[in-house]
């Protein structure tokens, strides 16, 4: 079964307004770019970021010894010591590392993710790297793409503080025509203030609205670190009481121990309404692109068996769009050239 078969297997529901909500952590970018960016620079998780950004040499020069490999541990330690000047230098190094990453030219997992969701859905990312933004930009000729939210900021997205309009850094505010400027990234300290930064606050409000309306919640490569306690609280509040989520499904895409993952995300799970996958392409999005909510409804409520597709991971842009065009046309649009 391939993309062209989804049309006959799953009935497209134009009135389906329930959302598929995807939460991305650093593990998602790692999975999407296992060989790094186009120049081989890695997409680091917290245990790799200190080395990737070459922070040890700088800290050694500052007389700081026994530097932990985990960036979260390092940053929290320096923050608690009040080393503001050192922290600013570290933040600049982190920004420069991520803003210098370059997207591979061929279709990536992030492109597949973008194409496999619709305008009613949302991808909310904790990641600073620019690749989700780049995937959105280079697939913009597709009429219906998911919403995006940047929960800890992003090196490609900025804001006009005067009018609270956000967009690509160096683009222009649609109201005042001034350039969009970078916003601060949120760094891993225990007591984050999500209300202090208006841009970040707006991103969380956007996610919260979609979580309230979610039918499927997919958590991809996000381990809910100890520094994100407040973030989990906000998500739980928006998700609401688990007892009232008796129709919804939680899906976890991660390579960590399944028992540990279940314990972490149990506050979001109603009874047995969850699945754990170790591969994006085995998920509802990968198996039922652009039809994930319809597929889950058919399986859980109509008791239909739908095997799902084997996603065409290694095809060219032309082949990928040709396959998707069948689904696009069913939704009432064609690729905008």
Q: Is the pTM of this model over 0.85?
A: yes
In 3-state terms, what secondary structure has residue 172? strand
Distances in whole angstroms, Cα of residue 167 to Cα of each of 24, 56, 133, 158, 197: 20, 33, 10, 6, 16
CB of 222 closer than 8 Å to CB of 23: yes
In 3-state terms, what secondary structure has residue 266? helix
Q: Which residue has the tokens 């309009």?
A: 165
Phi, psi values for residue 232, rounded to 5°: -65, -40
Packed helices 84-99 and 71-81: angle between N→C axes, nearest 10 degrees: 150
Tokens standing for 9? 């297997």
pLDDT 10s per residue in the chain (337 long)?
A: 567 778 778 888 888 889 999 999 999 999 999 999 999 999 999 999 999 999 988 888 888 877 888 898 888 888 888 888 899 999 999 999 999 999 999 999 999 999 999 999 999 999 999 999 999 999 999 999 999 999 999 999 999 988 888 999 999 999 999 999 998 899 987 778 888 888 999 999 999 999 999 999 999 999 988 788 889 999 999 999 999 999 999 999 999 999 999 999 999 999 999 999 999 999 999 999 999 999 999 999 999 988 889 999 999 999 999 999 999 999 999 987 6
Nearby residues of 148 by Cβ (< 8 Å), 6 or more positions away: 122, 123, 124, 125, 132, 133, 136
Full DSSP string of 301-313: TS----------T
Give the residues across from 219 on adjacent strands: 23, 252
């Amino acid at each position: 079964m391939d993309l062209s078969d989804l049309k006959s297997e799953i009935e497209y529901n134009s009135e389906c307004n329930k959302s598929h909500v995807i939460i991305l952590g650093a593990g998602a970018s790692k999975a999407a770019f296992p060989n790094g960016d186009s120049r081989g620079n890695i997409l680091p998780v917290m245990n790799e970021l200190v080395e990737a950004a070459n922070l040890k040499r700088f800290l050694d020069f500052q007389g700081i010894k026994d530097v932990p490999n985990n960036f979260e541990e390092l940053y929290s330690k320096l923050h608690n010591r009040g080393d503001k000047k050192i922290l600013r230098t570290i933040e600049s190094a982190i920004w420069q590392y991520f803003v210098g990453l370059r997207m591979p030219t061929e279709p990536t997992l992030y492109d597949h993710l973008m194409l496999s969701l619709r305008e009613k859905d949302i991808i909310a990312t904790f990641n600073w790297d620019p690749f989700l933004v780049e995937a959105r930009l280079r697939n913009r000729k597709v009429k219906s793409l998911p919403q995006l939210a940047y929960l800890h900021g992003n090196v490609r997205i900025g804001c006009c503080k005067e009018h609270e309009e956000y967009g690509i850094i160096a683009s222009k505010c649609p109201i005042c025509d001034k350039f969009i400027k970078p916003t601060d990234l949120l760094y891993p300290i225990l007591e984050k203030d999500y209300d202090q930064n208006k841009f970040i606050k707006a991103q969380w409000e956007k996610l919260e609205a979609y979580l309230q309306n979610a039918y499927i919640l997919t958590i991809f490569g996000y381990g809910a670190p100890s520094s994100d306690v407040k973030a989990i609280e906000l998500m739980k509040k928006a998700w609401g009481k688990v007892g009232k989520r008796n129709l919804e499904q939680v899906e976890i895409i991660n390579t960590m121990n399944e028992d540990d993952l279940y314990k972490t995300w149990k506050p979001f799970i109603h009874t047995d309404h969850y699945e754990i996958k170790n591969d994006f392409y085995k998920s509802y999005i990968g198996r039922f692109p652009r039809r994930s909510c319809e597929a889950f409804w058919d399986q859980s409520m109509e008791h239909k068996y739908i095997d799902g597709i084997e996603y065409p991971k290694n095809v060219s842009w032309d082949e990928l769009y040709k396959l998707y065009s069948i689904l696009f046309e069913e939704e009432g649009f064609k690729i905008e050239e």
